[in-house]
Amino acid sequence: MSTDNPTIVGHKVNASWRQRWPLLPALLFTIALTQVPFAMSIWYSLTNWKIIPPTPRKLVGLSNYSTLAGDRFFREAAWTSIEMTVVAVLGSLLLGTLFALLLDRKFLGQGVVRTLLITPFLMMPVVAGLVWKNQMFHGLYGVLNWVLEHLGGKSVEFVSRYPTWAIVATLIWQWTPFMMLIILAGLQSQPADVLEAAKVDGATPLAMFRQLTLSHLRPYMELGVLLGTIYLIQVFDHVAVMTGGGPGSTNVPYFVFERSIGGGWVFGQASAYSIVVVIASIVIATIALRVLSGLLKGEEIA
Amino acid sequence: MNTVGERRWVNAVFGLLAWLVGLVFFFPVLWMVLNSFKGEQDANTSPKLFFHPTMDRYRDVTKTTRGLLSFREAFANSAFVVIVSTVIVLVLAIPAAYALAIRPIPKWRDVLFFFISTKFLPVVASILPLWILAKDLHLLNTRTVLVILYTGMNLPLAVWMLRSFFQEIPHELIEAAEIDGAGLRGQLTSIILPMAAPGIAATALLCVIFAWNEFFFAVQLNPAKGSTVPIWVTTNISTRGNFLAKLSAASVLASLPVVLAGWIAQKRMIRGLAMGAIK
């Protein structure tokens, strides 16, 4: 910079500010709403702040973090979160891919079937959770138990016997359409001439699918997993309305809520939990963003 | 032509399978709609398909009871929060997307990553400070706090989607407008907004869906009388007596706006979501 002619430098600065200012309002708003609370959380996590019983707030250093390491309940919640997210993401990706393959060929009423299939994704999460709990999984009047009984089985109290899996099933129902839409976009962008050429060369449909379609779909699947993970790792609504965190179904978001404004009121400790959650998420995000940046690089080459 | 006949046959089988899968997946929604027209006794028994349809449950849930969040209030609050937050999101995100796509600033990729990375921050980690801030600013149980938070929630996604839509605008058009002396506002109104209108509509729709369905912030920061539709739905659960038919009616009313909008705009949304990232 120092070797540049000062007037040119001035001009450059002006020009770059003219380029930048349209970005500023959105950037500042996002920083204020995400980074400020984060900084406050760090501060709280170093204190012994709790509301019940009212305790004078004082700095306690890292002791909240050391308590956390020995907290069995936090470990259980973390495990539940991982289980829920992994199974729901992979389950909906698998079903979504199968459904997309079914939809990617011409048949009578294709548009209607697509419309039917995307509906679960549009449902309000609270409604989805309540509807599954009270009309599908219900021990007495639930549709699933009606089917089970007609097949000669015994009725099951799904939500209280298998709380985590009842939630996961509902999540898969809601997120399969999302995965299906992304995979469908991928299938429809597949160049037809390559497939034709392979067919002329005598490739079997299965070989064509494995070698051409799957590799073409990979970035779409990665995108689906990425976006699905972002949203599913934060699931709160379904847990709140289906089990209220009942036996074994407390995931990390619900756990932190319970410890802070959801009745625990141990603000210092809850903040330490949330900081750990943020660090874990940053690790996941770094991996995921690497995938994304690969996608963006691809865009520049194309 | 044997192969053509064979292909047609295979397609028919797969088409039938697709219909089956579609109907099974849609069934919980269909059942909810059916339940909403039942009496509580018909809903709370082993599943029955034939019954005397009644609109009474809809009358029940839309009735106003003093001191409780009513259907009318909840819908008015939701509509206000959703519309205002979406408008603010667009006002902030359109210039930002311009600075990232059309006249890309240096390091535009880092900035885009920053926006996206905020979506990775678990909301639950910021709920306590947000609650304390809202309490200190006397914003608890107001619509304002939800407008602010929903704007923040949807902004990164909107910037992300709009950037990719803006990138598809031919550069020559914008250069031509610049030569004619059009500034940012001129370029926006004369070229960018008209050309990216479908993309902007898809983005706005996605923001509307996310804001309309949002429950976490609403239940934490505004669970009271001035709250939104998801909160209203949960008020239709009772601990005593049967409530499935009533809950179903409330669920149908709550889901209908977003489901209809999504049905109408499904193709646009596919493009916005998938192509936004890959193209």
Mean pLDDT of chain B, nearest integer: 87
Q: With an 8 Å Cβ cutoff, are B128 and A278 in contact?
A: no
Chain B hits for A227, CB-CB cut-off 8 Å, are: 273
DSSP conformation class of A47: B
Q: With an 8 Å Cβ cutoff, are B46 and A112 in contact?
A: no
**What is the rounded CA–CA span in Å between residue B81 and residue B3?**
57
With 0-12 / 13-18 / 19 or more C-beta atoms within 10 angstroms meaning exposed / middle / buried, residue B50 is exposed
**What is the rounded CA–CA span in Å between residue A123 and residue A110?**
21
DSSP conformation class of A162: S
* Amino acid B272: pLDDT: 63
Given a contact cutoff of 8 angstroms between Cβ atoms, the answer to whether B116 and B178 are in contact is: no
Which of B29, B103, B124, B207 has the most A C-beta neighbours within 10 Å, making it the best mutation to test the interface with A? B124
pTM: 0.87
**What is the rounded CA–CA span in Å between residue B88 and residue A122?**
23
Which of A119, A180, A206, A275 has the most B C-beta neighbours within 10 Å, making it the best mutation to test the interface with B? A119
Q: With an 8 Å Cβ cutoff, are A123 and B255 in contact?
A: yes
Chain A hits for B106, CB-CB cut-off 8 Å, are: 16
* Amino acid A105: pLDDT: 84
The shortest C-alpha distance from B67 to chain A (Å) reads: 23
* Amino acid A32: pLDDT: 93
**What is the rounded CA–CA span in Å between residue A157 and residue B195?**
54
Give percent above pLDDT 90 in chain B: 44
Taking only the tens place, the pLDDT of each residue in B206-244 is 899 899 999 999 998 987 877 999 999 998 887 777 889
Of B27, B125, B270, the CB nearest to A181: B270
- How would residue B147 be classed by pLDDT, with cut points 50, 70 and 90? very high
**What is the rounded CA–CA span in Å between residue B130 and residue B190?**
40
pLDDT over threshold 90, residue B58: yes
Chain A hits for B46, CB-CB cut-off 8 Å, are: 141, 146
Name every residue whose Cβ is closer than 8 Å to that of residue B124 and which is 6 or more positions away in sequence.
A234, A236, A252, A253, A256, A257, A274, A277, B216
Chain A hits for B26, CB-CB cut-off 8 Å, are: 116-117, 119-120
Of B18, B129, B259, the CB nearest to A119: B259
* Amino acid B20: pLDDT: 96
Q: What three-state secondary structure class fits A61? A: coil
* Amino acid B274: pLDDT: 56
Chain B hits for A256, CB-CB cut-off 8 Å, are: 124-125, 127
- Cross-strand pairs, A59: A47
What is the end-to-end Cα distance of chain A in Å, rounded? 34
Chain B hits for A221, CB-CB cut-off 8 Å, are: none
**What is the rounded CA–CA span in Å between residue A96 and residue A235?**
19
Q: With an 8 Å Cβ cutoff, are A143 and B25 in contact?
A: no
pLDDT over threshold 90, residue B139: yes
| Per-residue model confidence as pLDDT tens for chain A (302 residues) | 444 444 444 455 566 788 888 999 999 999 999 999 989 999 999 998 887 777 778 888 888 888 887 889 989 998 999 899 999 999 999 999 999 999 988 888 989 999 999 999 999 999 999 999 999 999 888 899 999 988 988 888 899 899 999 999 999 999 999 899 888 888 887 777 888 888 888 888 888 887 888 888 887 888 888 888 888 988 999 999 999 888 889 998 899 888 888 778 888 888 888 888 888 877 876 776 676 666 655 554 43
Complete domains list, chain A, with CATH: 28-301 (1.10.3720.10)
Name every residue whose Cβ is closer than 8 Å to that of residue B259 and which is 6 or more positions away in sequence.
A119, A122, A123
| Most confident option among A40-44, A52-56, B24-28, B58-62 | B24-28
* CATH match of B60-278 with 1.10.340.30: no
Name every residue whose Cβ is closer than 8 Å to that of residue A226 and which is 6 or more positions away in sequence.
A288, A291, A292
Given a contact cutoff of 8 angstroms between Cβ atoms, the answer to whether A244 and A269 are in contact is: no
Cis geometry, peptide bond prior to residue A125 (ω within 30 degrees of 0) = no
Question: Averaged over B164-188, what is the pLDDT?
Answer: 86
A85 dihedral zone (left: phi>0; alpha: psi -120 to 50; beta): alpha
Q: With an 8 Å Cβ cutoff, are B29 and A123 in contact?
A: yes
Where in chain B are the domains?
1-33, 60-278
Pairs of residues, one from chain A and one from chain B, whose beta carbons lie less than 8 Å apart: 290
The shortest C-alpha distance from B176 to chain A (Å) reads: 18
* Amino acid B202: pLDDT: 83
**What is the rounded CA–CA span in Å between residue A128 and residue A270?**
29
Q: With an 8 Å Cβ cutoff, are B95 and A23 in contact?
A: yes
Which of B140, B270, B278 has the most A C-beta neighbours within 10 Å, making it the best mutation to test the interface with A? B278
Of A122, A141, A227, the CB nearest to B47: A141
Nearest to A235 by CA among B145, B234, B122: B122
* Amino acid A302: pLDDT: 39
Which residue of chain B is at minimal alpha-carbon distance from A106?
A: B11
Which residue of chain B is at minimal alpha-carbon distance from A123?
A: B255
Taking only the tens place, the pLDDT of each residue in B118-129 is 887 778 778 889
- Cross-strand pairs, A47: A59
Which of A18, A23, A159 has the most B C-beta neighbours within 10 Å, making it the best mutation to test the interface with B? A23
More confident call, B195 vs A296: B195
Q: Which two tokens stand for residue A230?
A: 């972002």
- Write down how long chain B is: 279
DSSP conformation class of A136: I
* Amino acid A24: pLDDT: 94
The shortest C-alpha distance from A184 to chain B (Å) reads: 8
Chain B hits for A33, CB-CB cut-off 8 Å, are: 148-149, 152
Max CA distance (Å), chain A: 88
The shortest C-alpha distance from A79 to chain B (Å) reads: 16
- Residue given tokens 């079914």 in the structure block: A102
**What is the rounded CA–CA span in Å between residue B189 and residue B186?**
5
pLDDT over threshold 50, residue B1: no
- Residue given tokens 């999460």 in the structure block: A125
Q: With an 8 Å Cβ cutoff, are B121 and A257 in contact?
A: no
- Residue given tokens 């509906």 in the structure block: A119
- Residue given tokens 């011409």 in the structure block: A106
Q: Which two tokens stand for residue B144?
A: 């304002």
Q: With an 8 Å Cβ cutoff, are B27 and A143 in contact?
A: yes
Print the SS3 string covering chain B. Answer: CHHHHHHHHHHHHHHHHHHHHHHHHHHHHHHHHHHHCCCHHHHCCCCCCCCCCCCHHHHHHHCCCCCCCCHHHHHHHHHHHHHHHHHHHHHHHHHHHHHHHCCCCCCHHHHHHHHHHHHHCCHHHHHHHHHHHHHHCCCCCCHHHHHHHHHHHHHHHHHHHHHHHHHCCCHHHHHHHHHCCCCHHHHHHHHHHHHHHHHHHHHHHHHHHHHHHCCHHHHHHCCCCCCCHHHHHHCCCCCCCCCHHHHHHHHHHHHHHHHHHHHHCHHHHHHHHHHHHHC
**What is the rounded CA–CA span in Å between residue A144 and residue A109?**
27
Q: With an 8 Å Cβ cutoff, are B278 and A299 in contact?
A: yes
Neighbour tally for A159: CB within 10 Å: 23
